Structure 1
């Protein structure tokens, strides 16, 4: 495990798992969930919860199945009090897990994901954000819109909110170190980075101070 110290008061850990890969042990309750999910969702659920249990086992010294984890499908995973905060995101071929002793949100997408940047921006983003890409080429607009999307999703996960009601409330200017929520006045520190073929973002408490986040590859 690779971690980064945050002002001696919190720690940040990031792990990237490639998909597909072997399935790791999950709890009896999680196996019950698997049986009630569609094949694709069941595979993603088992893979992500198994990886999460392995990560926390490496950190705490507890067995993977002894980690006090509540990880219902479709809901943010929760660790028992005192074990910090966890956030996960997956795309077509990778799973990103972020852990911190304070609130955290992460999101990951492939850089080559196909979408119409201007249409997506007009649907989900603000007028000012749309103006920023109005005269860019399709490839330039796609790069900025993808970055903006992962930053906003990470912030929404930090918030424990819903995409539908918050995606146009979180504001992030390209290359800014912070994002803010217009209605709720939340403010988070964000790290938007590229690793190999993926774009990912991390959202942390506003006052977090950290060196460059480092991903542990698995």
Structure 2
């Protein structure tokens, strides 16, 4: 299995209802959870993210979709039951999804670059991280730190039970596990002990997603 990050930017013209035929690929509990979202964009983000990771599992592990079962660790991080060699992580923000797969633990986070809230940085970032942001004075540097910190706590598996100001992503051993890419105004950070060599981030248009999903119907 090749370790890789997948980036999918959603097309606002493509409706949530266009995916109706794929709903049955998900467990009923997951379908009901998606339907509870108020806005179609949130429904579509969750639906496509869940469906695409299933596609990747089927392709890489040669499993049937019905054989896929997800569980969560005590801190809420999902994992694939019965396949400890397969690791994945999902992140989505408005209109875009990032999914990482690896043979080792992995954490992924994606954010759209917009006006940064420095109050968040002052409250949750280390002094080195805050200085890094204030010195560079661009919104993208805030989101670089934010996504790297999120990717790290997701990699660790304990999530927000780890205080965000208790570690620093601007140097040291944590920084060596982090990689970042900017695509179409989004920042994606990945945390892993695995070296992501070559074309480690694959960009997909939403129109290509149904072609993939047809393979697991």
**TM-score, scaled to structure 1:** 0.74
Residue 54 of structure 1: CA displacement? 1.7
CA, structure 1 residues 194+27, in 2 after alignment: closer, same or farther (shift >3 Å)? same
User: For 1:117-153, what per-residue CA distance to the aligned partner results, in whole angstroms no more than 9, with x for missing partners?
Assistant: x32211111223223333543xx2x221110110110
CA RMSD after TM alignment: 2.8
CA, structure 1 residues 214+30, in 2 after alignment: closer, same or farther (shift >3 Å)? same
Higher strand share: 1
Correspondence for 1:211 among 189, 197, 202: 197
Q: How many residue pairs were aligned?
A: 191
User: For 1:37-86, what per-residue CA distance to the aligned partner results, in whole angstroms no more than 9, with x for missing partners?
Assistant: 333455443332122112212223333333233379x9332102335111
Q: Are 1:171 and 2:168 counterparts?
A: yes
Q: Are 1:57 and 2:45 counterparts?
A: no
Aligned partners of 2:7 and 2:133: how far apart in 1? 30
Structure 1 unaligned regions, length at least 5: 4-10, 181-187
Match of 2:214 in 1: none
Match of 2:92 in 1: 90
Higher helix share: 2
Aligned partners of 1:49 and 1:160: how far apart in 2? 19
Aligned partners of 2:165 and 2:46: how far apart in 1? 28
Match of 2:47 in 1: 46
Aligned partners of 1:177 and 1:192: how far apart in 2? 16
Match of 2:9 in 1: 18
Structure 2 unaligned regions, length at least 5: 209-217
**TM-score, scaled to structure 2:** 0.74
Correspondence for 2:140 among 128, 139, 143: 143
